[in-house]
Every structure is written in C-alpha cells, then in structure tokens.
Amino acid sequence: MTSIMTNAAAMAALQTLRSINRNLDETQSRVSSGYRVETAADNAAYWSIATTMRSDNAALSTVQDALGLGAAKVDTAYAALDTVIDLMSEVKAKLVAAREPGVDKTKIDKELSQLKEQLVSAAQSASFSGENWLYNDAATAVGTKSIVASFNRSADGSVSVTTLDYDTSGSILVDVQDASRGLLTMAVDADALVSAPTGTPREYYLIDASSPPAGTEIALSGSTTDEELDDMISVVDDLISQLTNSAATLGAITSRIEMQENFVANLMDVIDKGVGRLVDADMNEESTRMKALQTQQQLGIQSLSIANTNSENILRLFQE
C-alpha cells in the first residue's frame, strides 16, 4: 500500500543507514585506536582482564629495575672481593718469603702494611647506591640484604613479592665497630687449623680495627719465629678460603639475577601478547570491513533517496 502519511520504505532505508553508520563509526574507532576493546563498554570481561594484566606488567617493569640495581650491587661487591683475594694471595706470598733464612723481615713487614692499606681501601670502595657489603662502620651489623626478584599473582587474585636474600656476614671484610664481625679483622685460631692441634689457642688477625679482638696482629719483626710465621700463613690461607667461598656465593647470586631478569623480560612479553589477543584490533579485518561498510553506506543513501521519491510520484499523479 502506498501512503502519503507514512513512508515505510524511507523508514526502513533510514533504519538500515543508521545501523550502517553505527557499525562504520565503531570500525573507524577501532582502526584509529588499534583496539577492539578500548573501554569497559566494549567488553567488560576482556577490558577488566587486560587492565589487571597491564598493571601487573607495570609492576614487573619495576622488578626489572630492582634486579638491575641488585645486580650492580652484587657486581660491585664481587669486583672488590676479587681484588681482595688477589691481595691476600700476595700477603701469603710475602709471609712465605719471610720464612727463608736470612730475609729482612722488617722490610717485608713494610710491604705487608701497604697490602693491608690496599685491602681496607678495596673494601671501602665497594659501595653502590649507599650500600657496602664488604665494609661496615656502623654500630649494628650489615645483616641480610634483599633484592626484589619477582611479582606474583595467585589464582585467587592475591599478590606477593619475592626476594633474593644474601647474608653479608660472610662477606664483610672490615668492621671497625666490632672486629669479630669482619673476616679480616676477626681473630682466627691457628691451632684449630693444624692437623694435630695442641688445645692452646694461637689467635691472629690481619687488620687492626678500632676494636681489635684478642690475639696477635699478622705483622713481622726481626724476632718473628718460624713457628709464628707458620701460624700466620695458615691463618691467611684459611681467610683466602673463606673469601673464595664468599666470592662463589656472590657469583651464584649474579647468575640467579641474570636468569630472573631473562624470565621477567620473557614474562612481560608473554603478558603483552596475551593482552593484545584480548583487546587489539585485527587491522586487516577492520580495514576490509570499513571498506565494505562505506560501500553499504553509499547504497543506503541511494536507497533512502529512492524511497523519498515515492511521495513525489504520488503528487505527480494528482497533478496529471
């Protein structure tokens, strides 16, 4: 039925055109933003998941920074400790040389004094970001150092942070407040290092701190006996062994940090890809869809124009 009051064809064409325009606006928005889920209104579930995962990725980025800072601290301590081990080997070599008959022990003692100063200097210089894992001048012990290693989210949504912990009691070389807390300032019983101990303590320390322990400083004079030299050599050799263990521990921590850095970087990439699968627009699909909708829009406009000519045709009938 043809009516001059209600143009059903025009209404249908207009409704179709509105739907096309709405879809075209949506597609253009996806093409311009690159997202098919940009706001919660697009898909509340996917938007919520993506927002949470982006937040977690930001936390993991902070973990990366913390691991980098921790690695720098460990590397600094290890480099200084490696230098100290070399210096301690020289100390042992000087003591062995002093064992030779007729050697001027006082001259060797001067060399030992220089080596001790270098040892203290190496320990003092092992500072990074305000932390020194080899030298302590505070009243309290340095204690355990923690490096943020990961950010975790459990199945129930709760979050936690894990750390890599390192006990500096095995690496503090010089402690000027409490000599017993430093490897090079503490007293070591030489009697306990021999195969047949006598039970009589013979304690030696290498560096004289402000609060020295009971014992004898490893130093030489013209009256130093061969037995005392043997004790000193044994103590220094034991210290080198302890320093080597400390360096090995730091090396292991460095390896763990490197593995964790790689894991965090890979995890961030995986999360980025996962978020992309949820919310990113397929640009090939969207561009093809936009071209199709633009064609439909042109056809819809023509259909609406044709539908609007019906009333004009009726008017011409009455005019004729």
Mind listing the domains of the chain with CATH numbers?
49-301 (1.20.1330.10)
Q: Quote the pLDDT of residue 41.
A: 84
What is the DSSP secondary structure assignment for residue 42, as one 8-state letter? T
Q: Of 97, 105, 115, whose CA–CA distance to 221 is shortest?
A: 105
Q: In a 10 Å sphere around its CB, with 0-12 CB exposed, 13-18 middle and 19+ buried, how is residue 118 labelled?
A: middle
Q: Quote the pLDDT of residue 213.
A: 60
Q: Quote the pLDDT of residue 55.
A: 93
CA separation for the pair 283, 128 (Å, rounded): 48
Q: Quote the pLDDT of residue 305.
A: 74
Report the C-alpha dihedral over residues 170, 175, 178, 179, rounded to 10 degrees.
80
Q: Quote the pLDDT of residue 119.
A: 96
- The residues of the chain scoring below 50 in pLDDT are none
Q: Quote the pLDDT of residue 315.
A: 61
Backbone phi and psi for residue 106, each to the nearest 5 degrees, phi listed first: -65, -35
Q: Quote the pLDDT of residue 24.
A: 73
* pTM for the model: 0.77
